[in-house]
Chains A and B, each alone.
Chain A
């Protein structure tokens, strides 16, 4: 187990025994901003060396992955889970989009194990944020005239995650070696900040568990099965695109993760009648812990197996 993951367990255990660990809300927000910028900068620098036409098919394939995941999640949620169209569409969008926190943990684990990966992956993180939202909304079939479409588009394209990560990606691309002057903060302190972030996430995840009590059996099964389906599709796609072992593992992580920052903000605007507590609880209390504790090592092992099979 990677050391940063241990902090997630510490946070969850602290919450379970009702120990008082109080994170100032602004610190959690600051850590999220830090992670988004750090990941974006690193990806931008790498993109500078790899920005050519060969990236286009990979980018298109990644967007198609983002479009297809909600189409798999929605029937499971509406037919088996018997959730309303709004709830099913909202949760499907969460599971088609990505979790930057999960991605950050996966990168930390890959680097600590010395596994190489395509460093321009933050580009794919940005690309995967939006397609699932559009599909989720289409599946929910809400053509409600009361929705402020301007606000909806604003939340979709100008939310914190998209703006900060794509902005940092661009700055890293533009500055290239010039980012070295700020990397003592965004590079050297990355794992320490991630440990603090995961401590808070452990507390949040444990506190969200009571929210899913009403639909616990179905949502707990879905929250574990859907990441495995997404990760399998992502891993196979990355393998077909000829990515490295680390790249296969990372696309599996992106396919298997569920959003808990960007998508909830959009869904509150677009689907005001949906049960937002349920979707956030599913992604935060079940899928995020599953991916951090079990999924990421599994996806890396699967990527290694694919590489060994191909080799």
Chain B
């Protein structure tokens, strides 16, 4: 996974969580969208986890050796 993909996927997940929560709190929808956002964010972070644990921080090089 490249840094761009990490930012895209985690960003999408976080945005969906926030949008879903806003809709649910206004009674416009249920919590389904927030749950999906949490799943996307969770899958993204879990996939990047080895890189995070190795260094304590994400870098492009650790996420995608091919780009470094």
A→B interface (CB under 8 Å): 80-82, 216-218, 220-221, 224-225, 290, 293-294, 297-298, 301, 305
A218 with B16: CB separation less than 8 A: no
A-B contact pairs, 14 of them (CB 8 A): A80-B5, A217-B6, A217-B9, A217-B47, A218-B8, A218-B9, A220-B39, A220-B44, A224-B12, A224-B16, A294-B32, A294-B33, A297-B32, A301-B29
Residues of A within 8 A of B5 (CB): 80-82, 217-218
Given the interface pairs A301-B28, A301-B29, A305-B28, the reply to whether A216 lies near B43 with Cβ below 8 Å is yes
A224 with B1: CB separation less than 8 A: no
B59 contacts A by Cβ under 8 Å: no
Chain A interface, DSSP helix/strand/loop, else mixed = helix
How far is the CB of B30 from the nearest CB of chain A, in Å? 7
| With A217-B10, A218-B1 already in contact, 8 other A-B pairs whose C-beta atoms are closer than 8 Å | A82-B5, A216-B43, A218-B5, A220-B43, A297-B29, A298-B29, A301-B29, A305-B28
Residues of B within 8 A of A217 (CB): 1, 5-6, 9-10, 40, 43-44, 47-48
B40 with A80: CB separation less than 8 A: no
How far is the CB of B6 from the nearest CB of chain A, in Å? 7
How far is the CB of A220 from the nearest CB of chain B, in Å? 5
Within 8 Å by CB of A290, from B36, B44, B48, lies: B36
Residues of B within 8 A of A224 (CB): 12, 16, 36, 40
Instruction: Give the CA-CA distance A217 to B9 in the complex, in Å.
Output: 6
Instruction: Give the CA-CA distance A80 to B4 in the complex, in Å.
Output: 6
Residues of B within 8 A of A297 (CB): 29-30, 32
Instruction: Give the CA-CA distance A81 to B43 in the complex, in Å.
Output: 16
B2 contacts A by Cβ under 8 Å: yes
Given the interface pairs A80-B5, A80-B8, the reply to whether A221 lies near B44 with Cβ below 8 Å is yes
Instruction: Give the CA-CA distance A235 to B2 in the complex, in Å.
Output: 33
How far is the CB of A65 from the nearest CB of chain B, in Å? 22
Residues of A within 8 A of B12 (CB): 221, 224-225
Within 8 Å by CB of B33, from A82, A218, A220, A298, lies: A298
Instruction: Give the CA-CA distance A297 to B29 in the complex, in Å.
Output: 8
B28 with A221: CB separation less than 8 A: no
Residues of B within 8 A of A298 (CB): 23, 29, 32-33
Instruction: Give the CA-CA distance A224 to B34 in the complex, in Å.
Output: 12
How far is the CB of B33 from the nearest CB of chain A, in Å? 6
How far is the CB of B43 from the nearest CB of chain A, in Å? 5
Per-residue contact bits, chain B 7-39, to A (CB 8 Å; 1 contact, 0 not): 011101100100000010000111011011001
